[in-house]
Amino acid sequence: MAGIPEFLVLRLLADREMYGYEIARAIKIATQEALSLGEGVLYPALHAMEARGLLRSRSAQVEGRVRVYYGLTARGRTRLARLTKDWRRLSLGVESLLGSADHG
C-alpha cells in the first residue's frame, strides 16, 4: 500500500489544481472510501511532496478562507508517469495471478 496516497494525489492533481479538502474528497470518491485514512495526514504528505519538488502551491482567499492550492510540477508529472507504469505492471501481475488461481 506504500506509495498509493502519493500516486492518487499526483493523479488527481494532473487534471487541475486542488486544495487539501478537495483532494481528500476526491480521493474518497475515487476510491469509493476504500482508503479510510484521517484526512489530516494528507497535509504531511502534500508538504513532503512539495519539498521534494513534485508539487507547487499557491495561496488564494476564497469565500473568506485562505486556501492553499496544489498543482503538479514537471518533476511531479515525470514521477506520475513512472508510478502509473509501475502500477499497471503490478496490476497486470496481480490480475494474472488471480486469474490463474481462479482457473486452477
Partner 1 sequence: MDERRMASLREALLRIGLAPSRVRRALREIQTHDRDLFDAAIARGASDSQARLEADERLGSDELLIARYAALPELRAWSRRWPALWFTLMPLLCYLVLGTATMLILVFATEGLSDRLHHVELARSTTRGIDLSAQVLFLGVYPWLVATAFGVLAYRRQVSLKWPVVAICVVSVLASLINVSVVLTGTRSLAGEPGELVAGIGFSPESLPLQLLRTVVVAGLALGAVWLVTRRAPRGETVQR
Kindly report the three-state secondary structure assignment for every residue of the chain.
CCCHHHHHHHHHHHHCCEEHHHHHHHHHHHCCCCCCCCHHHHHHHHHHHHHCCCEEEEEEEECCEEEEEEEECHHHHHHHHHHHHHHHHHHHHHHHHHHHHHHC
Q: Which segment (10-18, 38-46, 76-84, 94-102) binds partner 1 by CB under 8 A? A: 38-46
Q: Which segment (13-21, 73-81, 82-90, 92-100) binds partner 1 by CB under 8 A? A: 13-21
- Least distance from partner 1 to the Cβ atom of residue 68, Å: 6
Q: Site for partner 1 (CB under 8 A): which residue of 16, 52, 82, 88? A: 52
- Least distance from partner 1 to the Cβ atom of residue 46, Å: 8
**Binding site residues, partner 1, CB under 8 A:** 19-21, 24, 37-41, 43-45, 47-48, 51-52, 65-68
